[in-house]
Each structure stands twice: as C-alpha cells, then as structure tokens.
C-alpha cells in the first residue's frame, strides 16, 4: 500500500498538513515566514510529516482557463505556481531500517516503514541514512519522528488522514500496483494536453531504492521540488564493506599467527 501524489492538481491548501498534525498529535512547528516563499513550514521534519511546497516560476502561462487544474505552457508571459505535498517515501530498500540498532524502525504488513517512538533511543543513525532527508530528531526529545502513513488508521481499514482531507484527490492512497497504473495513465493524459514536462518520480521498482511507497507526478525536474534526481539507498555498499573488513581482519590474524609461530620456533631452538 502507498501514496500517489499528483502535484498537477494540488492547490496548496495545506489541508493534508493540518489533518496529519491533528490525527497524529504532531506539535506545531513555528510557521515561520522565511521571506523566500509563501510556504511557512519550509520542509519535512520531526514536527512536519506532510509538507506542501510552494514553488514560484517565472514561466509563460496561458491566459486560457486551466484544463484539469493544469495551466498550459503556451501564451503570454507570467508566473506559475508549482504546489507539491511531500512526505516520507517509505522506500522498498530503506536504509533507515538497515542502520537502526534497536528495531525501533520496522516494516509493517502494509509495506510501509514506521518508527516506534517508545523503542527509539535517539542515536540518530537513521537521520543521515535517509537519501531524502526525511527523518529528523525532535528538539527537546531526541527521538526520531516521521510519517507512519497513519498505521493506526490502516489497521482499521481507513485511509490516511492526509488523503482523506485532500479536496482535489491530489493525494491518493491504495495498492501500489493500481496507483502506478493510474499514474501512468494520468501522465499520458497530460502529455496529450500539451503538458510535456509531466513525469513520474519514485514509481520505478528498479531505481536506487527499489521504488518508493510514496511516489509523485511532477511538472518539472525533481531538483525543482527539492528531491534528489537519482536517490540511492545509502547502505548499498555495507555488505561489500563488511566482506572487505572481514578479509582484512582474517589477513591480520593470519599475519599475527605467523609472527607468533616464528618467534615460538626461535625460542624453542634456543
């Protein structure tokens, strides 16, 4: 199970942010005006599990009415907004799971990744392990926090609070195979409408993290939205590193044994 977020119909209302905070009792996070954007939550963190980015672009926007919520890239000059609700990607190959020493992070029966805050010891290993920079430690608490995809709601047959609250169905929840098929059809539809920049992000099971449990339809390059273009599970080299370390340790042990054996023979000869 997972999320498909169609940013082409996101209106930036932030209802998903509010619903996430209300259901999961996530603390208020300051709502600071940065002067760089109308976005007042800035990014994902321990106290922001859903974040709606507001991206201004000085690009041509048609004066004609929008089709299905997507402005045409033809016509007179002007400014366009890109709205996108970001969230934990619930990676198939999740580095945070690999490095957690307490088992606080676990894979649920729905295929999502959840932090058990009562087991987290605040070591912070998962923070740099995440290729998306999603997980964060809460100030004054020290433990790691992130989206749980409303694990408690899923167990009751309910959809996540953010998807339930989204007024435009920008956030869609369901079986990943169905969502990927629906997303591909939506991209084709946008291309037919002339929105050539429409693309999917995080949907490919063959990518560097084995595909995301939360993937996106974007209207520009991933970097524009603050997303890494080619995310890779940060622990991919751990097995080879351990093999090399084991080989080095074995070689060292063999060398020491040889030294002791030689000294033993010399001592016996005396």
For the chain, give every domain's residue range: 2-225, 237-270
Which pLDDT value is given to residue 208?
A: 73
Which pLDDT value is given to residue 175?
A: 93
Please tell me the pTM assigned to this model. 0.76
3-class SS of residue 214:
strand
Contact yes or no for 84/218 (Cβ under 8 A): yes
Structure tokens at 36: 């760089």
Which pLDDT value is given to residue 236?
A: 56
Which pLDDT value is given to residue 75?
A: 46
The Cα angle at residue 52 between residues 139 and 133, in degrees rounded to 5: 50
Contact yes or no for 162/16 (Cβ under 8 A): yes
Which pLDDT value is given to residue 189?
A: 93
In sequence order, the 6+-apart residues with CB closer than 8 A to the CB of 146 are: 44, 46, 49, 88, 115, 134, 135, 136
Say how far apart CA 88 and CA 85 lie, in whole Å.
11
The values of phi and psi at residue 53, to 5°, are -85, 140
Residue spans of alpha helices (H) in 87-138: 95-99, 126-129
Which pLDDT value is given to residue 72?
A: 47
Ordered mean pLDDT values, 10 residues apiece, the chain (270 residues): 93 93 88 70 87 83 48 57 91 90 92 91 90 89 92 93 95 93 94 91 82 91 90 67 54 69 59
Which pLDDT value is given to residue 64?
A: 41
Q: Does domain 2-225 have CATH number 3.30.70.20?
A: yes
Which pLDDT value is given to residue 188?
A: 94
Task: Put residue 180 in one of left, alpha, beta given phi > 0 → left and psi -120 to 50 → alpha.
Answer: alpha
């Amino acid at each position: 199970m997972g999320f498909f977020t169609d940013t082409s119909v996101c209106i930036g209302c932030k209802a998903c942010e509010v619903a996430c905070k209300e259901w999961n009792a996530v603390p208020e996070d300051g709502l600071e005006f940065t002067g760089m954007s109308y976005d007042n939550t800035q990014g994902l963190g321990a106290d922001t599990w859903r974040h709606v980015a507001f991206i201004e672009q000085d690009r041509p926007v048609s004066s004609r009415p929008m089709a299905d919520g997507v402005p045409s890239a033809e016509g007179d000059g002007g400014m366009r907004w890109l709205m996108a609700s970001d969230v934990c990607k619930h990676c198939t190959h999740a580095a945070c799971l690999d490095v957690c020493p307490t088992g606080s992070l676990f894979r649920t029966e729905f295929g999502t990744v959840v932090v058990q805050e009562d087991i987290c010891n605040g070591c912070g290993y998962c923070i740099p392990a995440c290729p998306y920079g999603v997980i964060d430690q809460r100030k004054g608490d020290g433990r790691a926090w992130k989206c749980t995809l409303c694990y408690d709601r899923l167990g009751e047959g309910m959809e996540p609070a953010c998807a339930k609250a989204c007024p435009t169905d920008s956030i869609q929840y369901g079986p990943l195979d169905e969502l990927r098929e629906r997303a591909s059809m939506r991209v084709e539809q946008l291309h037919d409408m002339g929105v050539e920049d429409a693309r999917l992000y995080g949907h490919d099971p063959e990518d560097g993290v084995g595909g995301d449990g939360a993937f996106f339809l974007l209207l520009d390059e991933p970097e524009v939205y603050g997303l890494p273009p080619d995310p890779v599970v940060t622990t991919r080299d751990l097995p080879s590193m351990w093999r090399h370390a084991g080989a080095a340790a074995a070689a060292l042990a063999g060398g020491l044994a040889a030294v002791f054996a030689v000294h033993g023979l010399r001592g016996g000869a005396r």
